[in-house]
A and B are shown apart, each in its own frame.
Chain A
Amino acid sequence: MVGSKSPIPWLKTVLLTAGLILFIVPFVVLILNSFKENKAITSNPLSLPERLDFTNYKNAFEQMNYLTAFSNTLVITLVSVLLISMFAAMTAHYFVRNNTKFNQYTFMIMVASMIIPFQAIMIPLVKIYGSLGMLDNKWSLIYMYLGFGSSLAVFIYHGFVKSIPAELEEAAMIDGCTRTQTFFRIVFPVLTPTTATIAILNVLWIWNDYLLPSLILVDPEQRTLPLSTYSFQGTYTSDYGPLMAALVLTILPIIVVYLFAQKYIIQGVMQGSIK
């Protein structure tokens, strides 16, 4: 912990409060205007709404096909995160316990691949999976998230598996557990804090991702929330009210989760950055 008191404590509080207001004001402006009519928005974007009018929300909810987009995003995010955490933990565990040259090189390639920008992959990715007829399908997208997300997850798990004593697993195996049973009954439960970190990092990424799903999902019925927000704006370019409501609806689920799990999310980001 860094000690010593600041010489002018009130100045710090004033600075931080001003900063925090700057960070939060855009969201406040968004919420205020989501209850206003277009005329009221353009004549004074800073005025308070006259009354709680949910017309914009009703329009946005129907136009962006909210329930479908929401459940698509939910399924894609949950299944991807589940697969990434489980398979990456297994792989990291295998790499640590079977520390052969081959496994070391494979691990190094996975770590090195993290510097490849997505733009260098997207064109051949669309060509390959397009020619296999695997586009426009949320299961293909989930599979790709497993491919793109596993490097970082294996990397983070790798560091934590090393700190689990091997004796613990050997004892379980002497008692008659198979390797798979040992992993799921002993190792994976011990890794729960790491799994939480990986789940948080991946939810923040996949829930909000735009470019990859925009290349893979074409059918409007398959759209995720970021995709339907974007296409919604295309149809309502000058009508701000419904757009504001659509934006609020898009960020609402994650903000609600944040209100309850804020402590864990911040801790997850901290843990994920320690190498």
Chain B
Amino acid sequence: MIAEKGVWNKLRSRLLFTGPTLFAFITVMIVPFLYGIYLTFTNWDGISTSHSLVGLSNYGEVFKDGVFWKSFGLTLKYVFLSVVLINAIAFALAYMLSRGMKGQSIFRAGFFVPNLVGGIVLGFIWQFIFSNVLVFFGTKAGIPFLSASWLADPDTAFWSLVIVTVWQYAGYMMVIFVAGLMSVPGDILEAASIDGANGWTKMRKMILPLMIPSFIVTIFLSLQRCFMVYDLNLTLTKGGPFKSTEMVSMHVYEKAFLSRDYGVGQAEAFVLFLLVAAITLLQVYFSKRMEVEA
């Protein structure tokens, strides 16, 4: 323990070492978060300087806002499908790319590339792919399900969003899985082989249980990113066709900044926070209980 002499010296180094970080953290995260909870009880319209308390009526509005619940349900479906596919594909890639095969670092680097680019740009690129390249290809090659733009139909537009999300994040999660797989001790797997365990048994009984810490991280990160999807949603489908792919984040944005319904928008954002917090905490809690020691 390093300690300074005197109250003044102690206070000075506390301020110097923790002051800037904590001041920014409190004023940018904590104060707006708490003030946001307060705003859900007001009728602020975004322009006027005054607003009055309206009790729980914003939350009542939230329950009556059918569009919100529709996009809420859609987001849950999107998050579930994306998280499962991202993790499955990322794990498969990592498993194939962690056994010293020729050129594996080139493969890893290649699969990571979509993560260098922001959702805005990726959305534009894929919008072009779905509405021009695939349509051209489908028409020329006579493949009916490709010859109309996927973005023009609600169902296929939803799947386009899932596909691009999986394409975007699989490489990132793959890198985390590779790090985890490298720490699985080779000698216990060898011992299992000598005892007659086949590949599938080793995977199920040894590798997967030992990889739980990696899964905690990748599922946490993919849950967070998918729940907060906005950029990609904006430039790939713009929530369309006919608002059929509008995720909850975009809905909150429009409610607050375009319809100027700040109280209701913030209440919906708070409902989103409660849901994300509950799901991520449950995920971490249950997976921690499944952790094993090698």
Q: A residues bordering B, Cβ < 8 Å?
A: 1-6, 9, 12-13, 15-16, 19-20, 22-24, 26-27, 29-30, 33, 41-42, 44-46, 83, 87-88, 90-91, 93-95, 97-99, 106, 109-110, 113, 115-125, 127-128, 143-144, 146-148, 150-151, 154, 166, 169-170, 173, 179-180, 182-183, 204, 207-211, 215, 226, 229-230, 233, 240, 243-244, 247, 250-251, 254-255, 258, 262-263, 265-266, 269-271, 273-275
Contacts and interface: CB of A to CB of B under 8 A. Distances in A.
A211 B230 contact: yes
Of the listed residues A5, A26, A98, A270, the one surrounded by the most CB atoms of chain B closer than 10 A to its CB is: A26
B13 interface: yes
A94 B14 contact: yes
Contacts of B120: 208, 210, 226, 229-230
B36 A120 contact: yes
A262 B32 contact: no
Contact of B99 (A2, A146, A226, A247): A2
Given A29-B133, A247-B124, A110 B25 contact: yes
B36 A229 contact: no
Given A4-B193, A98-B1, A269-B175, A27 B125 contact: yes
Contacts of A20: 107, 110-111
A206 B19 CA distance: 23
15 contacts: A4-B193, A4-B199, A23-B110, A26-B125, A91-B21, A117-B249, A120-B272, A123-B265, A124-B36, A144-B24, A147-B24, A229-B121, A229-B124, A244-B128, A273-B217
Given A19-B111, A269-B175, A12 B277 contact: no
A183 B25 CA distance: 22
Given A83-B20, A154-B21, 16 more contacts: A3-B189, A22-B167, A23-B114, A44-B136, A87-B24, A90-B21, A91-B18, A94-B13, A115-B280, A116-B273, A118-B228, A121-B29, A124-B36, A124-B266, A233-B235, A273-B175
Contact of A146 (B21, B133, B269): B21
Given A258-B116, A262-B109, A124 B249 contact: no
Q: What are the 4 closest A-B residue pairs judged by CB atoms, nearest first?
A: A147-B28, A208-B118, A94-B17, A270-B179
Q: By DSSP majority rule, is chain B's interface helix, strand, loop, or mixed? A: helix
B126 interface: yes
Contacts of A9: 101
Nearest to A207: B118
Interface stretch (B52-60, B65-73, B89-97, B151-159): B89-97
B182 interface: yes
B39 interface: yes
A166 B1 contact: yes
A33 B118 CA distance: 20
Given A4-B193, A266-B109, A143 B28 contact: yes
A244 B280 CA distance: 38
Contacts of B176: 269-270, 273
B136 A45 contact: yes
A87 B25 CA distance: 11
Interface string B178-210: 110110101001100100000100100001000
B39 A90 contact: no
B81 interface: no
Interface of B: 1-4, 13-14, 16-18, 20-22, 24-25, 27-33, 35-36, 39, 44, 46, 93, 95-101, 105, 107-121, 124-126, 128-129, 132-133, 136-137, 167, 171-172, 175-176, 178-179, 181-182, 184, 186, 189-190, 193, 199, 202, 207, 213-214, 217-218, 221, 224, 227-228, 230-231, 234-235, 248-249, 252-253, 256-257, 262, 265-266, 269-270, 272-273, 276-277, 280-281
B35 A124 contact: yes
A208 B25 contact: no
Contacts of B113: 23-24, 27, 255, 258
Of the listed residues A146, A233, A273, the one surrounded by the most CB atoms of chain B closer than 10 A to its CB is: A273
Contacts of B33: 113, 116, 120-121, 124
A115 B276 contact: yes
Nearest to A143: B24
Contacts of A148: 28-29
Contacts of A166: 1-2
Contact of A226 (B16, B118, B249): B118
Contacts of A33: 128
